[in-house]
Chains A and B, each alone.
Chain A
Amino acid sequence: MAATTIASVRKSSVIPGFGLALGVTLTYLSLIVLIPLAGLFWRSASGGLDEFIRISTDPRTLAALRLSFTTSFVAALVNLVFGMILAWVLVRYRFPGRRFIDAVIDLPFALPTAVAGIALTALYAPNGWIGSWLAPFGIRIAYTETGIIIALIFIGLPFVVRSVQPVLEDLDREVEEVAATLGATRRQTVRRVVFPALLPALLTGFALAFARAVGEYGSVIFIAGNSPYKTEIAPLLIVIKLEEFAYSGATTIAVLMLIASFLILLAINLIQSWSRRRYGDV
């Protein structure tokens, strides 16, 4: 009886290899992601609970975490706005050099981030091309939070563009035309018809840009100045702890970052799955 049930279940599946595929997926995820993360937690716990609490309430740790998350958030927000505009221009208009710009978008993916950091520092330092223009007005970018945000905007740029672009390409022009025949102005159409359709993709892009920015190290350390309590990002603090052989300290900060990032990404994913359930696909 049981045997026939299983056999019939097996037969009824049109796409074969579910067991194998799931096995490979879980093994792979375990090796690449879960086991290293578990090691991280185990390592951070090795100093005992007191040590964990001491490091995680240390003002320097808190300042670094606050800096990392706020600058990443601001950078992701900026990327959200400008990424959407970039995607819009690339999808909706035809102009010479469009392909070139399209290719340039991916450069921050390909460039070693340290190179980006050095280039940005050279530009924005008080004696750099842009920095020397701003210095007389008392505006400093390099070695401030603004500098960190600019570096994070740079490395996060492709995420929003690349997640919005395909959705915008698929967006039916007829939906906008219908809105116009119903009397909606261009602004109303964008706000009430186009934007809601792009929202899930915008959220995805935002989440990716944010996650990338939180973990970014290479490009930031050059432009940040790295003064403790002020412009010292959490990933840098981890490296500093490691160099001091304070492994449990480093892993504790890492665990805190991990938990915070996980919660934020989870929230964004929940919003997305909620919107997908609601709108389905037409």
Chain B
Amino acid sequence: MNAINPIDAVESVALGAPIDVTIENVEKAFGDTPALHGVSLDVKAGELVALLGPSGSGKTTLLRILAGLDAPTAGRVLFGGDDALGLRVQDRNVGFVFQHYALFRHMTVYDNIAFGLTVRPRAERPPKAEIRKRVLHLLDLVQLSGLDKRYPSQLSGGQRQRVALARALAIEPRVLLLDEPFGALDAQVRKDLRRWLRELHDQTGHTTFFVTHDQEEALELADRVVVMSKGQIEQVGTPDEIYDAPASPFVFGFIGESSFLPVTVVDGAVQLDGTPLDLAALGAPSGAATLGFRPHDISIVEGDAPAIVGQIIAERRHGGARRLELEVGSARHRVEIDMAVDHTRQEGGLVAFRPHRWRLFPR
């Protein structure tokens, strides 16, 4: 498959102005199993928001509630200040894209994209020529010009997903909802589509939610990332905030690679097994805490300076570095660190290191 070219200057598709979306204390339970606990979120018009979390975190449930495919047990959803929950799916005017495309396989690409326009009541339905113009324009936008007479079975996965997107855009949605849109595609296509979607969003400016479990995708694509876990929002922030200032061990662990050690904070200094680590924890409350750091944010310590000392359990090549798995302290906690490939290790399989960037989470 060819790389997807940047979008040429195409006129904007979104005729309606993008709208704010407000989610207030939304609760959802399937039978006795709660899926969402009091989720609240404000999204500005035109924002591209990632709902990020592991499976079962409630992110898809939230997306389906926004679309009207599921109804919340309690709470409010406002589209541009107006109640959206009172509207049926059909009247909510959202574009929804499923992970597995959900294309109408008995229709051509053209008919798929035109579907949302052709099912409108006769009075609101655009004339045939107008529909044709809009479909061809959308095909151009998703870079599938000339494939309008194909059937979905004759397209590649990436092409099918772009047809699904064009079909959702055809109804001039107020909000665009994407459920793991790249989940079923292979890595290279996924990367291309990701960049392409970002450009498309910059161009069309829809308020967009997309669900993903891929933190890299969320950080690269979104204006803001909503990290969810067990039906609750753990943190909302820009990719920088989420990555650099994770609010909880869960977010820290979910965004990027991470290692954790149980430590104690005594008078603003961090101690491991009673040994000071020379890590300043100004303002942190004294008591038990969890120290989190990323494998690449460490320095190897030579000599007798205060450090975390660990026994090497395993090592493997990791990109440009060597990834070591260590057992640390009397409780033999497992952590991972990166070391330069040409670094000579100390005798006895022991390594001393100190994180130069870290987070402390009180326990």
Chain A residues near B (Cβ < 8 Å): 172, 174-175, 177-185, 188, 192-193, 196-197, 199, 275, 278-282
Contacts and interface: CB of A to CB of B under 8 A. Distances in A.
Shortest beta-carbon contacts, A-B, top 9 = A280-B153, A182-B116, A174-B102, A184-B119, A181-B96, A282-B105, A180-B89, A196-B106, A178-B102
A188 B91 CA distance: 14
B12 interface: no
A183 B164 CA distance: 15
A196 B112 CA distance: 14
Contacts of A180: 69, 89-90
Given A278-B151, A281-B153, A182 B119 contact: yes
B102 A175 contact: yes
A279 B115 contact: no
Given A178-B98, A179-B104, A181-B89, 5 more contacts: A181-B94, A183-B90, A183-B91, A279-B105, A280-B105
A7 to B, nearest CB: 35
A183 B98 contact: no
9 contacts: A172-B102, A181-B69, A181-B92, A182-B119, A192-B115, A193-B104, A197-B105, A280-B153, A282-B103
Contact of A177 (B69, B101, B105, B168): B69
A interface secondary structure, majority: helix
Contact of A280 (B92, B95, B151, B170): B151
A185 B106 contact: no
B176 to A, nearest CB: 11
Contacts of B115: 179, 182, 184, 192
Contacts of A192: 104, 115, 119
Give the interface centre of A181, A279, A281, A282 by most chain B CB atoms within 10 Å. A181
Contact of A182 (B68, B100, B153, B167): B167
Contacts of B151: 278-280
B152 A282 contact: yes
Contacts of B154: 280
B198 interface: no
B159 to A, nearest CB: 12
A185 B90 contact: yes
A177 B67 CA distance: 10
A174 B168 CA distance: 14
B interface secondary structure, majority: mixed
A184 B90 contact: yes
Give the interface centre of A177, A188, A196, A280 by most chain B CB atoms within 10 Å. A177
B162 interface: no
B120 interface: yes
A185 B119 contact: yes
Interface of B: 67-69, 89-96, 98, 100-106, 115-116, 119-120, 151-154, 160, 164, 167-168, 170-171
Given A172-B102, A280-B105, A181 B67 contact: yes
Give the interface centre of B90, B100, B120 by most chain A CB atoms within 10 Å. B90
Contacts of B89: 177, 180-181
Contacts of A182: 115-116, 119, 167-168, 170-171
A183 B102 contact: no
Contacts of B93: 183
B90 A174 contact: no
Nearest to B154: A280
A174 B180 CA distance: 14
A162 B168 CA distance: 35
Give the interface centre of A182, A192, A197 by most chain B CB atoms within 10 Å. A182
B97 to A, nearest CB: 8
Contacts of B91: 183
Contacts of B153: 279-282
A281 B105 contact: yes
B167 A174 contact: no
B96 A183 contact: no
B69 to A, nearest CB: 5
A282 B89 CA distance: 25
Contacts of A196: 104, 106
B117 to A, nearest CB: 9
A27 to B, nearest CB: 36
Contact of A183 (B67, B103, B116): B116
Contacts of A197: 105-106
Contacts of A280: 105, 151, 153-154
Contacts of A275: 106
Give the interface centre of A174, A183, A192, A280 by most chain B CB atoms within 10 Å. A183
A181 B178 CA distance: 12
A180 B94 CA distance: 10
A174 B100 contact: yes
Contacts of B167: 178, 182
Nearest to B90: A183
A228 B153 CA distance: 53
A174 B102 CA distance: 6
